[in-house]
Amino acid sequence: MSQAMPTALPRWDLSNVYPDLESPAYQQDLDRFREETARLQSHLDAGDQDFTAHLSGAVQAANAALLTGRTLRAYLNSFVSTDSYNTLALRKLSEFEQLHVELQKQFTRLEAWIGRSADRLDQAIAQDPVLREHEFYLREASEQSRYLMSEAEETLAAELNLSGGNLWSKLQGAVVSQLNVPFAENGEEKQVPATTLINYRSHPDADVRRRAYETEMKAWEQVRNPLAAAMNGIKGTVITLDRRRGREDALHSAIDAARLDRKTLDVMLSVMRESFPMFRRYFRAKAAHLGKEKLAWYDLFAPVGKIQTEFSYAQARDFVLRHFEAFSPDLAVFAARAFDNNWIDAGPRDGKRAGAFCMAVPGVKESRVLSNFDGSLDQVFTLAHELGHAFHNDCMFAAGRTELQRSTPMTLAETASILCETIVVNAALKEAKDRQEELAILESSLNNASQVIVDIYSRFLFEKEVFERRAKAELSAEELCEIMEWAQRETYGDGLDERYLHKYMWTWKPHYYSTGLSFYNFPYAFGLMFGIGLYAIYLERGPAFVTDYRRLLSSTGMARPADLAAGFGIDLSKPDFWERSLQVVNGQIEQYAAIKAV
């Protein structure tokens, strides 16, 4: 980590949610969660006596249970995600998950009831204001109810998930977050979390990058067998349940969860594939800047150009706020609130999960952001990205959306984060003092774009192949590595040195280890291109865009992406929009390649 950074980066504060894990306030909400779940059940038990009244009551009870439950889960995750050694938090999370299964059962019953009562929905919605406000949810629930097993089977599946898929996911998180390995830097060898090695990929010293990569490969090799078991357990469970529910394949449920159709997804994926030669030009240009013929995996994130690459956390804060201000004063005020009130858990440490994320805490109408800030420009942009998620949450809270109305698909969940990151990147480019600073900023932007288009596509190919093979037999760790390298060769092509790929990408990415959401990848590409496309519209319309944009963010749980996009004149089923978005990236690649290597 940079010496310019403070020794103790801020950790998030959730004391305004509950004083601690054993406080009376926490226990009261746990009891309230039980009561709200029971209230939902009582409406379902009596539903056919007065359909409209009990459906309205069920919707209100569902919202209340979700509000309390999501607040409890966020609070518990704030401990577990930052300290996997915290046995009290892990036990409390397990206790909560036992209770949450009951809510899942009632939601399954609710969805099935709505499906059975489709012929009565129109009249009920017309009669009741609560149901009118939740019409989108009700219509979607009715449609998706066709993919439910019997009530007894869904109940059994939910209960078995606690000791099946859920534990496989926890195993992956614990193994990855607690793996420590020896690594030498500045002549001193020390034990570092394996997840910290990932941050060395952007180290300015090529030897450090290479050694970190080699150490990382050996580290994942030590734990690959239990992680392969977790992967097999997760994917096997999903395949079995999808088959019983009448799904075409694992992608079917992911598309529905994203609120897309296969045609739109195929069009988007096709445009992504056609862009690979463009990104390979970037990889070759980067190799030239690094004085190499081809990029090895450990050079993919190497810094290029000259800029203040070691930001203190305070400097990162000022950088983000200044550029947010240029887009919207409201956005800057909001982000300052997040910084000033310790909504961000900033730095890497043993027991903390890798990567970055933002979670809503609906009980207090706030968000919390996890990052692994290392002082790099890339991590500054990551802060902007995650704060975009938090702003999205705030738009929904400010509009008074209920929990059912806030249920946003991943495709739209990336809208604000990508746009906020784009704001900061483009503003930084305009302020570049010379060509080398311009090069450094372009590098950070293009590196991110290549990850979201090229690498995300490789992850899509990997997961699709894993599902297809897992349907026939369990996969060994070696097979998983072979599939990952194949997927990377298919996408990166001759842009990378094939001798140095990352066959263990499947081990530490938590996205593969969920029974509830498969293909946690293509929505990121949707988000990037949708966010860039919206930013282009902002450049045309100026400040007038912001009001419509906030309205869109507040409504992402209440409409399909195609309908919200149509409000901005965008047709997602045609390649034109996706191609225009990637042309913005192509312009940056041309700009990048035109700067001579030094």
Amino acid at 329: P
Taking the model in full, what pTM does it have?
A: 0.85
> Exposed, middle or buried by CB within 10 Å (0-12, 13-18, 19+), for 406?
buried
Whose tokens are 């240029």? That residue is 326
Which pLDDT belongs to residue 322?
94
Distance CA 243, CA 489 (A): 31
The set of long-range contacts for 237-242, using a CB threshold of 8 Å and a minimum separation of 24, is: 237/161, 237/164, 237/165, 237/515, 238/165, 238/467, 238/515, 238/518, 239/467, 239/470, 239/471, 241/149, 241/157, 241/515
CB 355 within 8 A of CB 372: yes
Which pLDDT belongs to residue 392?
97
Distance CA 545, CA 327 (A): 10
> Exposed, middle or buried by CB within 10 Å (0-12, 13-18, 19+), for 499?
exposed
Beta bridge partners of 188: 185
Sign of the Cα pseudo-torsion (564, 565, 568, 573, in order):
negative
Query: What distances in angstroms separate CA 342 from CA 26, 86, 369, 387, one per listed residue?
Result: 20, 21, 9, 13
DSSP category for residue 493: G
Q: Are strands 366-370 and 344-345 parallel, antiparallel or unpaired?
A: parallel
Q: Which residues contact 444 (CB under 8 A, 6 or more apart)?
A: 377, 378, 381, 425
- Which helix (H) or strand (E) segment holds residue 179: the answer is none
Among 338, 311, 344, which Cα is nearest to 324's?
338
Which pLDDT belongs to residue 598?
60
Question: What does R_g of the chain's alpha carbons equal in angstroms?
Answer: 24
Cα 140–Cα 390–Cα 172 angle in degrees, nearest 5: 75
Which pLDDT belongs to residue 5?
42
Which pLDDT belongs to residue 596?
80
SS3 of 104-162: HHHHHHHHHHHHHCHHHHHHHHHHCHHHHHCHHHHHHHHHHHHHCCCHHHHHHHHHHHH
At residue 366, φ and ψ (nearest 5 deg) are -135, 180
Amino acid at 502: H
Query: What distances in angstroms separate CA 411 from CA 16, 152, 175, one per listed residue?
Result: 31, 32, 29
Q: Which residues contact 114 (CB under 8 A, 6 or more apart)?
A: 55, 121, 138, 141, 142, 145
E-assigned strands of 378-483? Answer: none
Which pLDDT belongs to residue 2?
35
- In tens digits, the chain (598 residues) has pLDDT values of 333 444 589 999 999 999 999 999 999 999 999 999 999 999 999 867 799 999 999 999 999 999 999 999 999 999 999 998 999 999 999 999 999 999 999 999 999 999 999 999 999 999 999 999 999 999 999 999 999 999 899 989 989 998 999 999 999 999 998 999 999 988 899 999 888 888 899 898 999 999 999 999 999 999 999 999 999 999 999 999 999 999 999 999 999 999 999 999 999 999 999 999 999 999 999 999 999 999 999 999 999 998 765 789 999 999 999 999 989 999 999 999 999 999 999 999 889 988 899 999 999 999 999 999 988 888 899 999 999 999 999 999 999 999 999 999 999 998 999 999 999 988 888 888 888 889 999 998 999 899 999 999 999 999 999 999 999 999 999 999 999 999 999 999 999 999 999 999 999 999 999 998 899 999 999 999 999 999 989 988 988 899 999 999 999 999 999 999 999 999 999 999 999 999 999 999 999 999 986 6
